[in-house]
Amino acid sequence: MRIVTWNINSLRLRLPLLAEIVAALNPDVLCLQETKVDDPLFPLDACRALGFPHIAFHGMKSYNGVAILSRLPLSDIERPSRSGREDCRHLVARVAGIDIHCLYVPAGGDIPDADANPKFAHKLDFLAGLTRWYRDNFRPDRPMVVAGDLNIAPLETDVWSHKQLLSVVSHTPVEVAALAELQASLDWRDAVRAFIPPEQSLFTWWSYRSPDWRKNDRGRRLDHIWVTPALAGSLRGALVARECRDWTKPSDHVPVIVDLDLP
């Protein structure tokens, strides 16, 4: 099973690019974030035409939104809310005996201070609530996958400059600690770093503000795929599709791919 996660940054705007990515990467399950489309307007027919007869989505107008596109049947679809908000950031579906969690963690604004910045406070509250929910409702021996834009680059090699980004939202110590707590909730395994060593720089996002993203390479690894220990032995490969950042009208994120060898 090939699982791909991608912050598409507007599904309807990037439908042509989605078709190219599906052709190039051939995912069995595709998790999308920032779909930015209200559920009644979701382009079901266009997504089915790409070879995904099974689709779940949870969206709102102009902001956020998550979707799971699958070649295999989906069941047990849930749309959990976090922090008392219905802001369409979490979608769950069962695929071939695996719980797939498509997540879009709040970005957190520009100021890394929960007292001064409500967006940052919301991000930390979202992560804390999600950590409690996983810890209280699931076990590490349950086959589960988290795939999505977690909006945190935890390792020093997940950002272009550790020292310069220590006070920048997405790489601050408080966020990295909150993500570590989330990862510890079910002993989640970082599926990508299982194949790409932590010592190696790895990015999945580059700002639109950069005049030449490839030359400057000032990226961050914000997009992740994790698996519970029950699936760790099934991991067979991982890839970050950097080349997609060069395609026509790209998202500022690129797809992340993980392959699982399932019975």
How many domains, in total, are found in the chain? Answer: 1
- Report pLDDT for 208: 95
Q: Which of 42, 140, 124 is nearest to 91 (CA)?
A: 42
Average pLDDT over residues 129-143: 97
- For residue 258, is pLDDT > 90? yes
Averaged confidence pLDDT in the chain: 97
Range of the domain at 82: 2-260
> Could you give the CA distance from residue 238 to residue 227 in angstroms, rounded to a whole number?
12
| pLDDT of 82 higher than 90 | no
What is the pLDDT at residue 108?
A: 98
Confidence at residue 139, expressed as pLDDT on a 0 to 100 scale: 97
Tens of pLDDT, residues 23-62: 999 999 999 999 999 999 999 999 999 999 999 999 999 9
In angstroms, the Cα distances linking 134 to 83, 131, 177, 234, 245 are 14, 5, 17, 21, 33
Q: Indicate the residue type of 162.
A: H
Say how far apart CA 167 and CA 169 lie, in whole Å.
7
- Asked if residue 83 has pLDDT above 90, the reply is no
Read off the pLDDT band of 84 (50, 70, 90).
confident
The neighbouring-strand residues paired with 103 are 90, 148
Question: What mean pLDDT is predicted for residues 231-242?
Answer: 98
The pLDDT value given to residue 59 = 97
So what's the pLDDT on residue 211?
80
Arithmetic mean of pLDDT, 126-140 = 97
What mean pLDDT comes out for the span 213-219? Answer: 93
* CATH code (residue 141): 3.60.10.10
Cβ(142)–Cβ(228) below 8 Å: yes
Query: DSSP letter at 246?
Result: G
The whole-number pLDDT of residue 41 equals: 97
Quickly count: other Cβ atoms within 10 Å of residue 198's Cβ. Answer: 12
State pLDDT tens for residues 144-178.
999 999 999 999 999 999 999 999 999 999 999 99
Residue 263: pLDDT above 80?
A: no
Beta bridge partners of 6: 32
Q: What percent of the chain is predicted at pLDDT more than 70? A: 100
Q: Does position 131 have pLDDT exceeding 80, yes or no? A: yes
Q: What is the pLDDT at residue 210? A: 85
